[in-house]
Amino acid sequence: MILLLDIGNSRIKAAMAGAAGIGAVSAVAHAGDPAATLTQLPQEKPERIAVANVTGAAHEQQIEAALRARYGIAPAFARTQGECGGLKLAYAQPQRLGVDRWLMMLALWHETAGAFGVGAAGTALTYDAVDASGQHLGGFIAAGLSTHLQAVLGATRFGTGALGEQYSDGLGQDTEACVRQGAFLACLGALEHAARRHPAPRQVISGGDGPLFQPWLPDWSPRPQLVLEGLLAWAQLSA
C-alpha cells in the first residue's frame, strides 16, 4: 500500500492506495504547520509514502522527519519534471511550475493520452491546457474565489454584511451580492475563456471550490482528488 499525501496551502489530504486504486480520502486543516498535523494521520504503516507539497522547502525537512518518526519510512516527494510519461511541459524552467498543477496534468494524461484542459479552484485559480501529443500549451494562475473576495473587501471602504455563498451566473442586487458575484464571475469567466481559447474534448475541474463552479460548467467533469490521482500515477511511473 502507498500512503498518498497532498499537502496544500491550507489542508492535508491523505489516502491509502493499492491495487484497487485510491481508498477513502481524509482532509484536515494544517494552520500553517503541516508537519505537526501529520500526527493525525492513521497509524497503519504503508509500504511507501508519496508526497505532493506546495508549502515550500522550509516545511519539507519537518514533514520528512515527522513521517519518518511516525512510520519509519522515508517519504518520496514528487518534483515537477519537464517530461514524464509522454507529458511535456511548456515551462523553460519546469521546477517553477507548482507540483500540484503538474500532478493534475499527469493524472489526466496517464489515464488517457489525449487533449484536455484542467482547472483548479482553491486559494488560487489555475488552468492548464495539454494537446493531443502531450505537449503542455501553458496555463494561468489567478486569485481564487475567497482571495478575490478578500482583495475587494480589503481594498475598498464600503460596508458589507455577511456575503453568504449563494452564487449564480447572474448579477447582485445589493452590495453583498455584488461583491460575491463579482468574485464568482471573474473566476468563472476566466475558466470559460481559457476553455474557449484552447478547446479540448476533456475539460476537468478540481480544487476545494470546484463544486461551486461545476453547475455552470456542465461540460466539465468534476475530479476533486486529481492531485492524489496524479501522485499515484507518478509513484507508479517512478517504481
Mean pLDDT of the chain, nearest integer = 92
Listed in sequence order, the residues at least 6 apart from 122 whose beta carbon sits closer than 8 Å to its beta carbon are 8, 9, 144, 207, 208, 209
pTM for this predicted structure: 0.91
Q: Does the pLDDT at position 159 exceed 60?
A: no
Q: What is the pLDDT of residue 123?
A: 87
Residue 203: is it exposed, middle or buried by C-beta count within 10 angstroms (0-12/13-18/19+)?
buried
Quick check: 160 pLDDT over 90? Answer: no
Please check whether residue 106 is in contact with residue 230, taking contact to mean a CB–CB distance below 8 angstroms: yes
In order, the DSSP letters of 14-34 are EEEEETTEE---EEEE-TT-H
Is residue 97 within 8 A of residue 79, CB to CB? The reply is: no
Instruction: Determine the residue type at 229.
Output: E
Looking at residue 106, its pLDDT comes to 98
Q: With a cut of 70, say whether residue 162 has pLDDT above it.
A: no
Residue 181: CB atoms within 10 A of its CB come to 20
Binned at pLDDT 50, 70 and 90, residue 224 comes out as: very high
SS3 state at 206: strand
pLDDT recorded at residue 177: 85
pLDDT in tens, 23-46: 999 999 998 899 999 988 888 899
What value does the mean pLDDT take over residues 50-62?
A: 92
| pLDDT reading at 231 higher than 70 | yes
* Residue in this structure with the C-alpha cell 467533469, named with its chain if needed: 221
- Catalytic site positions: 100
Rounded Cα distance between 102 and 84, Å, is 10
Distance CA 110, CA 89 (A): 14
